[in-house]
Amino acid sequence: MIKKLNKACRFFPCHSGLEDCTFCYCPFYPCLDGKLGKYVYSSKQGKDIWSCQSCSWIHKRKVTQEIFILIVKNKFLIKNELFLPKFKSHNLKNAKLGIIILSHGSRLKKANASLDKIIKTTKKNTGLGIIIPAYLQFCHPNLTESVKSLIGQECRTIIIIPFFLFNGNHVTRDIPDIIKEEKAKYPKVRFIYTKNLGDDSRIADIVADMIEGGHAK
């Protein structure tokens, strides 16, 4: 069902080319797509902020319909402030988004190679191109080096995913401390630190599948 324009809103019209006001506040903000918006200086906040005032993309009826279809089909990834829709009208491959999958790291090269396979599969499943590894210990690149690499690729939002099963000192203390240091180095970059693997209830489903598979053997 298409929502009509809310002309009673005291902010109306907030954007040009309005067709639909379902998403009064864009759930993709800040998309960091240079074709839809740009950074502007805010005297009120005393820093650069993402402005999408000239963007009407989220208010197009076709876009709104596609978003609803994705929600109904449960193909909408909403996790830790991250929204990654899979439709052609808004291709996040072009957004300045970088993702780091952070593993503990091992002195054994074979152990670290598994992370490369995970990254390859993740790129295929999400359609995102800038996904790189990082290791907390024993090998390179470490988290600081990977962040620097993404900054060099002009990423303005960096998502750090701790590939850790348990919510121990690394997840709760060591990694946040490093991210805090990186935030100080790059104040204009948005850092998103997601939950670790063990905090996801789907881990239990994987365990159940392994039990079933082991029993079948």
Neighbour count for residue 87 (Cβ, 10 Å): 13
C-beta separation of 193 from 100 below 8 A: no
Give the chain's domain count: 2
Assess whether 17 and 80 both reside in one domain. Answer: yes
Domain range holding 152? 96-216
End residue of a domain, out of 65, 90, 115: 90
What confidence tens digit (pLDDT) does each residue in 140-174 have? 999 999 999 999 998 988 999 999 988 889 999 99
Least confident among 18-32, 70-84, 101-115, 151-165:
70-84
End residue of a domain, out of 49, 70, 90: 90
